[in-house]
């Protein structure tokens, strides 16, 4: 499919510009072309790692990551991401869960962000580690990072200022994508793992370029709200296509 690298490029650009990896939409695009659903999470999670790896490095260099609190969320979720990657799943179930995840992720992007001002966290913020557990499992199961669900919860509970939440989300996606990949490798074996990535080089190049451009340039030309809403619309459309067959 000639258009697929362009779709991955656009996805990486849009998602990186709002602090996510794009794994949910990579999975949807691959599903829509009939890619083997058993190998699909591998490609999506690797693309996730490529996109958020650079973002996490930049956040770390800018000292924006609240390491202790962020690592609690990521490390609580990571074993569940491994378990999700290890879990066998039927194609019909996989597509239904992926479609629902996409619709939910797109809807989450419409939740307005809290103003970035000094404010005490809500009492519910202390339970975010518990919320991270099912998000980790979902991440490994269908090849997403889970951060697209985590970030709105962190904003709604005023868990931290917006920049720290973006940095935490990036680290969360990175660690859970790596854990999910480990589960996929254990489930499928190295041969199937290599098969999944054998034709993915154009897609990886596309997400490297899109992720870099998205994180550095996109917000200079489009308001963040417009980017978030466009990303949400595309994500909900892809999820609806999967659910409706």
Q: What is the pLDDT of residue 107?
A: 85
Q: What does the alpha-carbon distance between residue 140 and residue 179 come to, in Å, rounded to a whole number? A: 7
Q: What is the pLDDT of residue 99?
A: 87
- pLDDT tens profile 115-128: 655 567 888 888 99
Total domain count for the chain?
A: 1
Q: What is the pLDDT of residue 70?
A: 95
Q: What is the pLDDT of residue 136?
A: 92
Q: What does the alpha-carbon distance between residue 51 and residue 209 come to, in Å, rounded to a whole number? A: 9
| pTM score, whole prediction | 0.86
Q: To which residue do tokens 């194609």 refer?
A: 91
Q: What is the pLDDT of residue 245?
A: 67
DSSP string computed for the chain: -TTHHHHHHHHHHHHHHTT---HHHHHHHHHHTT--TTTHHHHHHHHHHHHHHHHHHHHHHTT---HHHHHHHHHHHHHHHHHHHH----HHHHHHHHHHHHHHHHHHHTSPPPPSS--PPPGGGGGHHHHHHHHHHHHHHHT--SHHHHHHHHHHTT-S-HHHHHHHHHHHHHHHHHHHHHHHHHHHHHHHHHHHHHT-HHHHHHHHHHHHHIIIIIHHHS-HHHHHHHHHHHHHHHHHHHHH-
Structural domain containing residue 225: 4-244
Tens digits of pLDDT across the chain (245 residues): 688 999 999 888 888 877 788 887 888 888 888 888 888 889 999 999 998 888 888 888 888 899 999 999 999 999 999 999 999 889 889 889 888 888 887 887 787 665 655 567 888 888 999 999 999 998 888 888 888 888 888 888 889 887 888 889 989 999 999 999 999 889 888 888 888 888 888 999 999 998 888 777 655 666 667 777 877 887 788 788 878 86
């Amino acid at each position: 499919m000639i258009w697929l690298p362009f779709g991955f490029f656009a996805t990486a650009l849009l998602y990186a510009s709002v602090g996510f990896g794009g794994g949910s939409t990579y999975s949807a695009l691959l599903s829509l072309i009939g890619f083997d659903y058993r190998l699909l999470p591998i490609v999506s999670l690797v693309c996730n790692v490529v996109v958020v790896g650079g973002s996490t490095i930049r956040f770390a260099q800018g000292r924006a990551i609240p390491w202790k609190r962020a690592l609690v969320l990521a490390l609580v979720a990571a074993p569940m991401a491994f378990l999700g990657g290890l879990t066998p799943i039927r194609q019909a179930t996989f597509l239904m869960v992926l479609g629902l995840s996409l619709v939910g992720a797109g809807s989450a992007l419409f939740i307005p962000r809290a103003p970035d001002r000094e404010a005490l966290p809500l009492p519910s913020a202390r339970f975010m580690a518990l919320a991270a557990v099912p998000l980790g499992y979902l991440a490994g199961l269908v090849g997403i990072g889970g951060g697209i669900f985590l970030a709105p919860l962190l904003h709604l509970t005023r868990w931290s200022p917006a920049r720290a939440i973006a940095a935490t989300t990036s680290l969360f996606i990175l660690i859970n994508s790596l854990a999910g990949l480990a589960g996929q490798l254990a489930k499928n074996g190295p041969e199937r793992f290599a098969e999944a990535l054998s034709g993915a080089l154009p897609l990886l190049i596309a997400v490297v370029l899109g992720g870099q451009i998205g994180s550095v340039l996109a917000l200079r030309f489009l308001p963040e709200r417009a980017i978030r809403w466009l990303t949400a619309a595309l994500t909900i459309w892809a999820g609806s296509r999967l659910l409706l067959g």
